[in-house]
Structure 1
């Protein structure tokens, strides 16, 4: 029997990926990397890796007869025409680089815990410039069409069930939307009810379930919501150009994975903002108003009450998917 080290190493890599995905699911850290919508897909990937691992095990040992087989096509390092590698050719620098690229995410996955995106990432993504661009784009689309475009990607965002920060049952639960496996799923009728509720309420509660959807709707018509009371939770983000008593209460929206994360949030006027450190999570209540930043009208919250809170168990927001009936 001949032992093939490279084949054994490949089996180890397959097993390691399986264990890593299972670990992320068991610890709940998988949602710090991907949208929960894709949890089923990642579990399927773990199963596939495990199956491939068992198949790979059969290649670790071979008899002399099978290891010295002949073929009519060329293997790497032999006298044949095509150049694929069965894993038995000598180790080379090219192979080392290939293995290093594959092993790197395993090392980071096992030894570096997933880090929640923070204000430093918000700054690199553009911060207030991004928020202003989104508002400007929303205004242009509203002017061109004269109505709210339900096909816009920003309308397909957020989970559906949950409680607001005051412990009150949210509008969505009141309307008995089914408890689906993927909670960011709703019908067009349910979505329309959500928007109608926003238009009629005098107190806007920015639950994680509706944060981005409400944010987008309000961006289309700031005057319509001016003067309404609003409650939200977010982390503090600051940048040059803001007043001493201003900061941005921000959240990250994950569409597919952290690589496509986008920052959304509200410019907020808070007494003592200068003493609040960035990345501090704050629960705030205030009144919606309109201000101008770099020539663009933006919503601003004049905070009347706020307190520091712990980072939420689920710090990210996720898109709503509208069911096609």
Structure 2
């Protein structure tokens, strides 16, 4: 029964996430079919588990009925032959007074430790069920936290050097500033992808990074900054001042998923706003400007910087995340 509850709990949790439109906070929505597949499989397993429990219940019922019939038959036989058996046993026991001794204690010397092996097994099952129940409980009853600048402040952010990529690191590690999908390709495969995606943006006079092109466009710009210097670029994001930025510079970020929350990151670029611009962390803005580069001392290298020509505050989008679309 516990297995049924766990299977049903996972199926219900995934269904609830879909119903509440919260899937985008866990995985790249391109892979939504995986969670739908999981719901179908878990539902089928629930049905299988119900059928299994029904078969066990029917088998137990049949065993109980058979035992009752056997007991009733023995009782009937005992009652019908009671007088004859009593006389016969009485005469027989008089001739052999010691023969009536039975060896009913023959097997009573079982080890007192005969059943101790069940206890560890029971504990292991209990711990296993608790571990499986924990994500169900948290997924159903705890609210999903939308990532914001506090995550950036808590984690800090770094910029991969030109010599290395995220391929040299843990693919499940959070990324910052520059999207890097190289971890999911071989060296030659990634070179092919980079050049193909460069061609998608190279001939655009103005680059508008929207929800569909944000991740891909940012990766292309960081991979080939020289090809886009002086190009007009615009995008939406939330402001983040941080402790390492002076003057009218703000980072403008969006949280993005490559595949799922495990490889998510905060992506964007340093933006040079007009003098006197005053923004708070998490203020959403639409920025337009020309791409330049500056030596950013905390990273000890030049990074792309958008010099703003126009900007405006905007409300936070319904879905604040962007996703890597291949």
TM-score (norm 2): 0.66
Q: Deviations over 1:57-91 (max 9, x none)?
A: 24277326669xxxxxxxxx976999996xxx6xx
2:160 corresponds to: 133
Among 237, 241, 249, the alignment partner of 1:238 is 241
Q: Structure 1's 193 and 55: CA in aligned 2 closer, same or farther, altered over 3 A?
A: closer
Q: Distance in 1 between matches of 2:239 and 2:131?
A: 36
3-state DSSP of counterpart to 2:131 = helix
Q: Distance in 1 between matches of 2:114 and 2:259?
A: 44
Deviation at 1:51, TM superposition (A): 1.5
Work out whether 1:50 is the aligned partner of 2:43.
Answer: yes
Aligned length: 254
Work out whether 1:249 is the aligned partner of 2:252.
Answer: yes
Among 126, 140, 147, the alignment partner of 1:117 is 147
Q: Distance in 1 between matches of 2:42 and 2:114?
A: 30
Q: Distance in 1 between matches of 2:133 and 2:63?
A: 29
Work out whether 1:59 is the aligned partner of 2:87.
Answer: no
Contact 1:35–1:254 under 8 Å retained in 2: yes
2:134 corresponds to: 104
Q: Distance in 1 between matches of 2:305 and 2:184?
A: 24
Among 302, 313, 325, the alignment partner of 1:320 is 325
Deviation at 1:263, TM superposition (A): 2.1
Q: Structure 1's 124 and 226: CA in aligned 2 closer, same or farther, altered over 3 A?
A: same
What is the Cα-based RMSD across aligned positions, in Å?
3.5
1:207 corresponds to: 210
Aligned pairs for 1:4-43 (under 5 A) are 7=1, 9-43=2-36
Among 308, 313, 317, the alignment partner of 2:313 is 308
1:228 corresponds to: 231
Q: Distance in 2 between matches of 1:66 and 1:122?
A: 63
Aligned pairs for 1:61-210 (under 5 A) are 62=57, 63=60, 92=123, 94-127=124-157, 130=158, 132-133=159-160, 137=164, 153-154=181-182, 195-210=198-213
Q: Deviations over 1:194-240 (max 9, x none)?
A: 63352222211112222222222222343332222211011222322
Q: Distance in 2 between matches of 1:273 and 1:12?
A: 59
Q: Structure 1's 156 and 215: CA in aligned 2 closer, same or farther, altered over 3 A?
A: farther
Moved over 4 A (4+): 64-67, 77-85, 154-157, 188-194
Q: Distance in 2 between matches of 1:305 and 1:45?
A: 46
Structure 2 residue ranges without an equivalent (≥5) = 65-112, 166-179, 186-190
Q: Structure 1's 255 and 224: CA in aligned 2 closer, same or farther, altered over 3 A?
A: closer
Structure 1 residue ranges without an equivalent (≥5) = 1-6, 68-76, 139-151, 158-187
1:284 corresponds to: 287
TM-score (norm 1): 0.66
Q: Distance in 1 between matches of 2:194 and 2:219?
A: 13
Larger Rg: 2
Q: Structure 1's 260 and 78: CA in aligned 2 closer, same or farther, altered over 3 A?
A: farther
Q: Distance in 2 between matches of 1:24 and 1:10?
A: 21
